């Protein structure tokens, strides 16, 4: 029986098993047998992503899976619907694996599918626990669903371990960090557990339980540098000290305000492992603000260069957290793209409403500095804040187009439940949709203002057209479209903005959507 690598510490990195047979079977090799007389308890984790497949693998589920199998006497299996978004897949998986406990990860956008998966699992008589951003922000509602026995708040590892340890030992009661419903229907509200102090002590994500080759093939984070590059996502820190009103305090509830980072050694070790195991040529940090701690970044760059692997990489950060010298250090260590939240070109929206805390001058300056160091810039922008005028949106589009950035992501502003801006809108009396598939940055807003949804969508398409048809982008667009994988990745991104009727439809989606609206909309 193989066990998970105990920690991410360099000395304890274990040899890679072959992914092929291991995936969806767990590493113990235990197979489902009728009754499974001598088998260890089996925990199934589901990642019900039915929309917007991407090369970004579910890092949360993968880390949780690795942690649970390292700390509990259980086998862990994972069902990820990213590349096969059929509810039947979950049914087949549960039939085949017959798990004893089922955990489901849910963002707000995945809620409908997550709840349906929970019902399917519950019908098999197993205990069901949920976690991720949505259960963290709305456990009060979800815990009253008959198909859910516990909602894990925020960082999942330690709380889930405590929850399952109790359940496996036959205990049924409150657990720190979770809302729990006991067998007699009593609900025990949870309070947040303190964050894990030493993130290096976490095991490496359970890549073997996911189809990493599919993720690598779909990965497009560095397409503007070189399409088709083999890459994966990495996360070096948790928590964000900033106060953007469209994001906080949700992120605080997830991981806290204090930035907790893994050591640079530990992160570089993971990257080397990924290189040895998956032949990666690049990676992307999904950290919210990668450059918050300058000393950390400098040390990381030194260590990365010392590997001699010549990997290219990217990260997201705030425009005021990346001084020219740091940009140089990072570029010398292989930085080829940086994602920067510009959000809006107008002060009234960016500062007055979003509380971003970054000036347009800082954004413009940083984009130019990046360009001068050969680093592509991806700008994150939002359109359609409550009360935002057409003129303000057009100013954002024009400003973004005028900057020497290679990519732009024009999201629709979505008030994420639990955030300051969402609360403000509720207090101001905005009518908010109870259909959670409307909380979709790519395509839909859950409210309608003076500018109709249809018109807003037209403005969003105009933004993309305007930005990408500008000669400054011709080079990166041609490069991205010049290879099969680059064209595929471009196609996936385009699908997010094409008119609804042209996108492939999932006939089951409407039913799942209606169900999520029914359940969650009661509140």
- Neighbouring C-beta atoms of residue 295, cutoff 10 Å: 8
DSSP secondary structure string for all residues of 365-387: HHHHHHHHTT-EEEEEEEE--TT
Considering beta carbons, is residue 424 or 483 the nearer one to ligand SF4? 424
- The item of ligand B12, ligand SF4, none sharing an interface with residue 442, based on CB under 5 to 8 Å by kind, is ligand B12
Pick from 247, 330, 399, 416 the residue near ligand SF4 by CB under 6 A: 247
Q: Does 379 bind ligand B12 (CB under 6 A)?
A: no
Site for ligand B12 in 226-245 (CB under 6 A): 235
Q: Which residues pair with 233 in a beta bridge?
A: 284
- The item of ligand B12, ligand SF4, none sharing an interface with residue 285, based on CB under 5 to 8 Å by kind, is none
Residue partners of 91: CB distance under 8 A and separation at least 6: 120
Give the binding range for ligand SF4 (CB under 6 A) out of 161-169, 239-247, 331-339, 437-445: 239-247
Q: Does 242 bind ligand SF4 (CB under 6 A)?
A: yes
- The item of ligand B12, ligand SF4, none sharing an interface with residue 131, based on CB under 5 to 8 Å by kind, is ligand B12
Q: Closest approach of Cβ 383 to ligand SF4, in Å?
A: 16
466 alpha-carbon distance from chain centroid: 28
Q: Closest approach of Cβ 84 to ligand SF4, in Å?
A: 31
Interaction pattern, residues 52-81, with ligand B12; x per rule: CB under 6 A: x-x-x-xxxx-xx-----------------
Tokens of 480: 């991205």
Q: Does 132 bind ligand B12 (CB under 6 A)?
A: yes
Q: Does 251 bind ligand SF4 (CB under 6 A)?
A: yes
Considering beta carbons, is residue 56 or 435 the nearer one to ligand B12? 56
Q: Does 141 bind ligand SF4 (CB under 6 A)?
A: no
Find tokens 């890549």 and name the residue.
207
Give the binding range for ligand B12 (CB under 6 A) out of 83-91, 216-224, 246-254, 344-352: 246-254
- On whether the CB atoms of residues 479 and 224 are closer than 8 A, the answer is yes
Pick from 5, 26, 105, 139 the residue near ligand B12 by CB under 6 A: 105
Q: Does 349 bind ligand SF4 (CB under 6 A)?
A: no
Q: For the chain, what is the radius of gyration of the CA atoms?
A: 23
Q: Does 416 bind ligand B12 (CB under 6 A)?
A: yes
- The item of ligand SF4, ligand B12, none sharing an interface with residue 155, based on CB under 5 to 8 Å by kind, is ligand B12
Q: Does 247 bind ligand B12 (CB under 6 A)?
A: yes
Burial 444-481 (b: 16+ CB within 10 A, else e): bbbbeeebebeebbebbeebbebbbeeeebeebbebbe
Q: Does 250 bind ligand B12 (CB under 6 A)?
A: yes
Tokens of 78: 């994972």
Considering beta carbons, is residue 272 or 383 the nearer one to ligand SF4? 383
Q: Does 47 bind ligand SF4 (CB under 6 A)?
A: no
Pick from 77, 130, 385, 399 the residue near ligand B12 by CB under 6 A: 130
| Axis-axis angle for helices 360-372, 324-332 (nearest 10) | 30
Residue partners of 336: CB distance under 8 A and separation at least 6: 222, 225, 282, 312, 313, 314, 374, 375, 376
Considering beta carbons, is residue 100 or 440 the nearer one to ligand SF4? 440
d(CA 304, CA 266): 11
- The item of ligand B12, ligand SF4, none sharing an interface with residue 244, based on CB under 5 to 8 Å by kind, is ligand SF4
Q: Does 318 bind ligand SF4 (CB under 6 A)?
A: yes
Taken as a whole, the chain contains a residue count of: 523
d(CA 297, CA 290): 8
d(CA 364, CA 358): 11
Considering beta carbons, is residue 195 or 334 the nearer one to ligand SF4? 195
Q: Does 289 bind ligand SF4 (CB under 6 A)?
A: yes
Pick from 61, 76, 218, 244 the residue near ligand SF4 by CB under 6 A: 244
- The item of ligand SF4, ligand B12, none sharing an interface with residue 273, based on CB under 5 to 8 Å by kind, is none
Give the binding range for ligand B12 (CB under 6 A) out of 3-11, 44-52, 209-217, 396-404: 44-52
Pairing between β-strand 312-317 and β-strand 282-285 as defined by DSSP bridges: parallel
Q: Which residues pair with 45 in a beta bridge?
A: 78, 103
Phi, psi (degrees; rounded to nearest 5) at 172: -140, 100
Phi, psi (degrees; rounded to nearest 5) at 504: -60, 135
Task: Please calculate the CA angle 252-70-7 and round it to the nearest 5 degrees.
Answer: 70
Q: Does 109 bind ligand B12 (CB under 6 A)?
A: yes
Strand, coil or helix: 284 = strand
Q: 42 exposed, middle or buried (CB, 10 Å; 0-12, 13-18, 19+)?
A: buried
Interaction pattern, residues 339-378, with ligand B12; x per rule: CB under 6 A: ----------------------------------------
Pairing between β-strand 231-234 and β-strand 42-47 as defined by DSSP bridges: unpaired
* Dihedral (CA of 175, 181, 183, 186) sign: positive
Total of residues contacting ligand B12 (CB under 6 A): 43
Binding site for ligand B12 (CB under 6 A): 45, 49, 51-52, 54, 56, 58-61, 63-64, 103-105, 107-110, 129-134, 137, 152, 155-157, 160, 235, 247, 250-251, 254, 286, 288, 414, 416, 440-442
Binding site for ligand SF4 (CB under 6 A): 240, 242, 244, 247-248, 251, 288-289, 318
């Amino acid at each position: 029986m193989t066990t998970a690598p105990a920690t991410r510490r360099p000395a304890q990195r274990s040899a890679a098993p072959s992914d092929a047979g291991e995936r969806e079977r767990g590493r113990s090799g235990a197979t489902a047998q009728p009754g499974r007389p001598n088998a260890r308890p089996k925990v199934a984790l589901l990642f019900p992503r039915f929309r917007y497949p991407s090369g970004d693998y579910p890092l949360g589920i993968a880390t949780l899976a690795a942690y649970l199998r390292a700390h509990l006497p259980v086998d862990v299996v994972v069902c990820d619907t990213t590349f096969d978004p059929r509810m039947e897949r979950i049914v087949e998986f549960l039939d085949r694996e017959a798990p004893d406990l089922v955990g489901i990860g849910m963002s707000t956008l995945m809620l409908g599918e997550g709840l349906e998966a929970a019902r399917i699992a519950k019908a098999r008589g197993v205990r069901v626990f949920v976690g991720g951003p949505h259960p963290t922000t709305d456990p009060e509602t979800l815990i009253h669903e008959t198909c859910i026995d516990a909602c894990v708040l925020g960082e999942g590892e330690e709380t889930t371990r405590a929850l399952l340890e109790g359940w496996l030992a036959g205990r049924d009661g409150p657990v720190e960090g979770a809302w729990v419903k006991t067998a007699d229907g009593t609900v025990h509200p949870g309070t947040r557990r303190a964050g894990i102090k030493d993130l290096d002590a976490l095991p490496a994500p359970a890549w073997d339980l996911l189809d990493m080759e599919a993720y690598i093939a779909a990965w497009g984070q560095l397409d503007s540098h070189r399409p088709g590059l083999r890459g994966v996502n990495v996360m070096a820190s948790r928590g964000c000290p900033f106060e953007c009103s469209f994001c906080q305090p949700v992120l605080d509830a997830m991981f806290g305000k204090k930035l907790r980072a893994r050591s640079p050694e530990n992160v570089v070790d993971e990257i080397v492992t990924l290189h040895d195991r998956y032949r990666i040529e690049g990676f992307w940090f999904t950290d919210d603000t990668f450059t918050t701690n300058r000393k950390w970044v400098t040390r990381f760059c030194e260590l990365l260069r010392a590997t001699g692997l010549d990997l290219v990489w990217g990260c997201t950060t705030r425009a005021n957290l990346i001084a020219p010298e740091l940009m140089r250090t990072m570029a010398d260590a292989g930085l080829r793209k940086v994602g920067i939240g510009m959000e809006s070109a107008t002060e009234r929206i960016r500062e007055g409403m979003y509380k971003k805390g970054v000036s347009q001058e800082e954004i413009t300056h940083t984009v130019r500095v990046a360009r001068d160091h050969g680093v592509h810039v991806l700008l994150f922008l939002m359109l359609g804040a409550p009360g935002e005028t057409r003129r303000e949106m057009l100013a954002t589009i024009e400003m973004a187009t005028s900057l020497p950035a290679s990519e732009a992501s024009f999201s629709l502003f979505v008030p994420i439940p639990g955030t300051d801006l969402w609360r403000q809108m509720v207090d101001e009396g905005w009518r908010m949709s109870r259909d959670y598939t409307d909380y979709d940055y790519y395509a839909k807003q859950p409210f309608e203002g003076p500018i109709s949804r249809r018109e807003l969508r037209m403005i969003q398409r105009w933004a993309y057209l305007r930005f990408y048809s500008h000669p400054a982008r011709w080079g990166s667009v041609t490069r991205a479209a010049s290879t099969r994988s680059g064209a595929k990745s471009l196609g996936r991104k385009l699908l997010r903005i094409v008119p609804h009727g042209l996108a492939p439809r999932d006939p089951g989606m409407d039913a799942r959507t209606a169900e999520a609206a029914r359940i969650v909309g009661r509140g």
